[in-house]
Structure 1
Amino acid sequence: MIAEKSAFDTFELNLPPAIFGFLKETSSWTYFLSILGFIGIGLMLLFGIFFSVAMGLMPGGNPYESMGMTMNMSFVGIFYAVMAVCYFFPVLYLFNFSRKMKSALNAKNNDDLTAAFANLKSHYKFLGIFTIAIVGLYILLLIGAMVMGLA
């Protein structure tokens, strides 16, 4: 006995040619930007490691100590590494969006189209939350600077 397929089982991706073209071009640009993002992350990690090691090996320790900077300068290298890790996730979401979108358009697959847009949503959600956190940090730093200025 052969089961009949419903209309939903046989539904194919049906996009107007203009939208198909826009999505194809968008997936190409997001792929390019995500590759550049991965390269940037790699360079940030390398710079962070290099800076931490170079400052640790520098004779006399901190070259900026005479200007009042008493913190360990390897902190700057660690900061770059942390920023690279934070930057990794939106770039990964963008990369996954471009891969899934290309796959959806080539195979006319709704599951890949859904996964592509889920990754795009995650990309923008991450950037939105990250932006809110950074703006909040700036506000706290501004308030802290004003309080320290009054003291």
Structure 2
Amino acid sequence: MQSPITQLEQIVLTTRSKTFLREISKWAFFFSIIGFIGIAFLLIGAILIGTVYAPMLNMIAQQQGAPSISMGIMITYLVMGLLYFMPVFYLFKFSRKMKLALANKNDEILADALESLKSHYKFIGVLTIIMISLYVLLIGFSLVAGSLV
């Protein structure tokens, strides 16, 4: 005997659900635009640090007896911008497709919108796991290095 869940072939969106999804798509669009602006600032910052501010940063580093740091900061900003692009792009795709799906009452576009949202959260989740792992490793190495001194 099949359970009621497996017999259910479609989900009906109520007017209230559509209103919530419409509002979610507006906020997702807002956050994606803010994300793209943030990425632009990261890339502009990377270019400025690599060119305009490089001599000043290198001079300060040499006075402190440290190696040049401008290239490291520039690469860090570039990597952060590149890593941030994909989740922001997925969020943008979700917002546009959700708005289109609700306007056209199209189930396929709705599924595509939800797939973009899934990809957004999957990317953020994997990135979070990687960052937590790096923090744990950094703390472990710090404790080992601190005990050797």
What range describes the TM-score normalised by the shorter chain of this pair? 0.7 to 0.9
2:13 aligns to what SS in structure 1? coil
2:115 aligns to what SS in structure 1? helix
2:44 aligns to what SS in structure 1? helix
Which amino acid is the alignment partner of residue 97 of structure 1? F
With the length of structure 1 as denominator, give the TM-score of the two structures.
0.85
Report what 2:6 is aligned to.
none
**C-alpha displacement at 1:129, in angstroms?**
0.3
Map 1:2-151; keep pairs closer than 5 Å. 14-58=12-56, 61-151=58-148
Q: Is the 8 A contact 1:13 1:108 kept in 2?
A: no
Deviations 1:50-97 (A, max 9, x none): 011134344x83413343532432210110011000000000000000
In 2, Cα distance between the equivalents of 1:43 and 1:106? 34
Report what 2:5 is aligned to.
none
In 2, Cα distance between the equivalents of 1:13 and 1:32? 28
The unaligned stretches of length 5 or more in structure 1 are: 1-11
1:20 aligns to what SS in structure 2? helix
Q: Is the 8 A contact 2:61 2:69 kept in 1?
A: no
In 1, Cα distance between the equivalents of 2:137 and 2:47? 29
Higher helix share: 2
Count the aligned residue pairs.
Answer: 140
**C-alpha displacement at 1:122, in angstroms?**
0.4
Q: Percent identity?
A: 41
In 1, Cα distance between the equivalents of 2:21 and 2:147? 54
2:58 aligns to what SS in structure 1? coil
In 2, Cα distance between the equivalents of 1:18 and 1:62? 61
1:54 aligns to what SS in structure 2? coil
Which amino acid is the alignment partner of residue 52 of structure 1? G
The unaligned stretches of length 5 or more in structure 2 are: 1-9
Q: Moved runs in structure 1, 4+ residues, more than 2 A? A: 54-58, 64-73
With the length of structure 2 as denominator, give the TM-score of the two structures.
0.86
In 2, Cα distance between the equivalents of 1:48 and 1:126? 23
